[in-house]
Amino acid sequence: MTIGSSYNYPSQAAGVEVRKKRSTPSKWKPRFPNPPDLCFDYRALVEQKDGIARATDPQHRICIIGAGVTGLTAARELLRCGFRHITLIEQSSRIGGRHLTVPGSPQSSASHTPFEMGAMRMPLFNREGELPTEGRSLMAYYAKTFDLTLSDFANPGSQWVKSTGIYLREGRLAAEAAPQMLIWKNTDGQTPPPSDELQAVHAKWRAFADRMTRHVAEMYAGDDWEAAWAAIVEKYHAVSFRELVGMPALQRWNRDAPGDFGGMGMSVKESAIFYAIGIGDGSWGAFYDVCALYPLRTAIFGFSSHLQLVHGRVDEQGDPLPDSPLVNSNAVFDSTGLQFDKPRYLGLAALSECLMFMQPDESTQSFYEHCQQSSEGLLTDCAVSRLKKLGSGKIRVYFNRKHSQPELTQEHFNDFDSVIMTLPSWLIETRVKLEDFTPQMLPFETINAYKTAHWETSCKVFAPLKKSFLSGNTNIPQAIVTDSFIHDVYTYRYNESYSYDCILLSYTWEDDATKLSCFSDKELIAKCAEELDRILMNSSNIQQRISPYIGLQRAVVQRWMTDKNSLGCAKLYRPGTYHDAVRLLKYNRDYSKASGLYLSGESFSVDAGWTEPCFRGAVDAVIHICDKTDARFNGGFTMDDYPHFHHAT
């Protein structure tokens, strides 16, 4: 997400907060920054030597639908627990889901710069001065476990770019004599954006956000936190982000009204600028009509702090570590002998590949090796068509193999004790029939919540970038934010030894992405390059084209709304629908023991667009399956330690 992507104050405030002494200390309590609803230290449970629990019913048959990060995490953690009958079904011929790392040189065996067409900048919830892998998050845990190489992400407006260009209102934001691109150099991370107009907008955002962050850090995970968060939800759940921006600012927070932090107090003109530029880190306008709680969660609770670029499981030269499983294999195959994408261990895809191919300490096999011993351990190119609840209590899963070849497709089925559903919710509604689940197992309110969830569209245009741009160019800014149809431009480098760098030529969301849907990929690539050249040439202080630096013939476009395996890039919620999102979040606790169905992943979380809720959703499903099967939890954990969710009405 673009929202708040340079806002590091939560990680700084966390180091100085003053908390009241807790009456019931617990090692399962999280620390700030971390998500507000899931007030639990998932890392503390998962990072134990023997994992979450030890299975007492290892024959319990489990089906996981979807081999994205959620499904892969659930499979790995169930294997660590000792469950032995696990089937993972994936509709495509690759793993990773919306973690989509496209090889910039797909035919080359050499390491190269990847393009992250999905998630690309990771929050690890580390505090100021702390290594990212020491953050109290599952992303930090897995990054450390798998030896992933990280670096600070080159966000616009941050100290991790040489400069950020800002081009609004055709270069006449401050009534310059000639059109100009404003240049923001923020080498210390504290320099406000250029121009009085931008600084006024920036100051109003910071005044609001800093006040809220400071008080939230003080209250977080304390005895009064649940009540305080419920008060914040009550204040803002029916308010749009657009309304929050214009809502009068609060000069002083009142402890007797802990949920009220006022608004940002921006004028109509300031709001229009904020719509286009955020705080210099990219347009926030695509999110103006979502529930105000979404940007508040994103910025205030650590999703915006110290974001990291994942280079992969690589050495200093950017080559995969030699002990990476199957890195030199010619091909990998599922349990039926179908070939799927082999591991490269480059970029964010390395995370999914490690979950699949690396052996946990508690097991003698990786999940991939485990699947090779079963004819139905891993099924790729296989689409689930329906789930039927049987009188025996089991769930019959119907699926079509060779999904990509309709003329060869045949329907099969197997019966399972538990089914973990990780698909984007619109895929469930349009592709998977749920039969004979009673209202006590699957209430209408739950079905309606995932059917009516809002999934946003996104479009990315990536291309190779000549090394000379970042090494020698001093005229064109490294990152550019505009109010034109390209919106946000990012350039960055993975490794000196790679033959090229990369440019995210256009990054758009929601309506800004939808308006680009009528163009073919080739047309869109050409239009983006032409528009960026036009902006640069029209800026009197630049007047240089960027297109000569870009390998346009090797550009790649990803449109998530039309991706048949996704139907959207992230789940958001409109004003007034937050309780529906929480209803999905708490389904496993309330109904899964009776239904045998576990809803897991970002579709059933309240933190859209991030990897952390995928991890946590997977672990949530594992916790509840362990509870149902009377597994022995490790570390003294009991379900009494696990949070309840009180905000769905």
Q: What is the DSSP string of 604-617?
A: GSSSTT-SHHHHHH
pLDDT value, residue 180: 94
pLDDT in tens, 346-360: 999 999 999 999 999
The pTM for the full model equals: 0.96
Residue 182's beta-bridge partner residues?
166
Average pLDDT in the 506-527 region? Answer: 94
CA pair distance 138, 614, nearest whole angstrom: 10
Instruction: For residue 19, name the pLDDT band (cuts at 50, 70, 90).
Output: very low
pLDDT in tens, 461-475: 999 999 999 999 999
| pLDDT: which is higher, 402 or 64 | 64
C-alpha torsion sign, points 117, 315, 92, 500: positive
CA pair distance 522, 517, nearest whole angstrom: 12
Q: How many C-beta atoms surround the C-beta of residue 411 within 10 A? A: 11
pLDDT in tens, 103-144: 877 777 778 899 999 999 999 999 999 999 999 999 999 999
CA pair distance 582, 63, nearest whole angstrom: 24
User: Which residue is listed with tokens 């005895």?
Assistant: 223
pLDDT value, residue 277: 74
Which residues have C-beta within 8 Å of that of residue 295, sequence separation ≥ 6?
3, 4, 241, 244, 284, 287
CA dihedral 414, 417, 422, 423 (to 10 degrees): 40
Average pLDDT in the 320-348 region? Answer: 96
CA pair distance 412, 60, nearest whole angstrom: 20
Cα angle 90-96-97, degrees, rounded to a multiple of 5 = 70
Token output for 154: 């080159």
Token output for 392: 């025996």
User: Which residue is listed with tokens 């899931």?
Assistant: 38
pLDDT in tens, 190-205: 888 888 888 999 899 9
Instruction: For residue 323, name the pLDDT band (cuts at 50, 70, 90).
Output: very high
pLDDT in tens, 578-622: 999 999 999 999 999 999 999 999 999 988 778 999 999 999 999
C-alpha torsion sign, points 277, 282, 288, 293: negative
The full DSSP string for 80-149 is HHT--EEEEE-SSSSSBTT--EEESSTT-SS---EEESS---B---PPTTS-GGGSSSHHHHHHHHTT-E
204: three-class secondary structure by DSSP: helix
CA pair distance 209, 281, nearest whole angstrom: 15
pLDDT in tens, 272-292: 888 877 755 566 778 899 999
With a pLDDT cut of 90, the percent of the chain lying above it is 79
User: Is the Cβ–Cβ distance between 286 and 492 less than 8 Å?
Assistant: no
User: Is the Cβ–Cβ distance between 55 and 631 less than 8 Å?
Assistant: yes
User: Is the Cβ–Cβ distance between 245 and 271 less than 8 Å?
Assistant: yes
Given a cut of 90, whether residue 175 has pLDDT beyond it is no
With a pLDDT cut of 70, the percent of the chain lying above it is 95
User: Which residue is listed with tokens 């210099």?
Assistant: 280
User: Which residue is listed with tokens 């990771």?
Assistant: 122
User: Is the Cβ–Cβ distance between 470 and 514 less than 8 Å?
Assistant: no
Average pLDDT in the 568-575 region? Answer: 92
CA pair distance 385, 168, nearest whole angstrom: 48
Q: What is the mean pLDDT of the chain?
A: 92
77: three-class secondary structure by DSSP: helix
User: Is the Cβ–Cβ distance between 288 and 201 less than 8 Å?
Assistant: no
Query: Is residue 249 classed exposed, middle or buried when 0-12, 13-18 and 19+ CB atoms within 10 A define those classes?
Result: middle
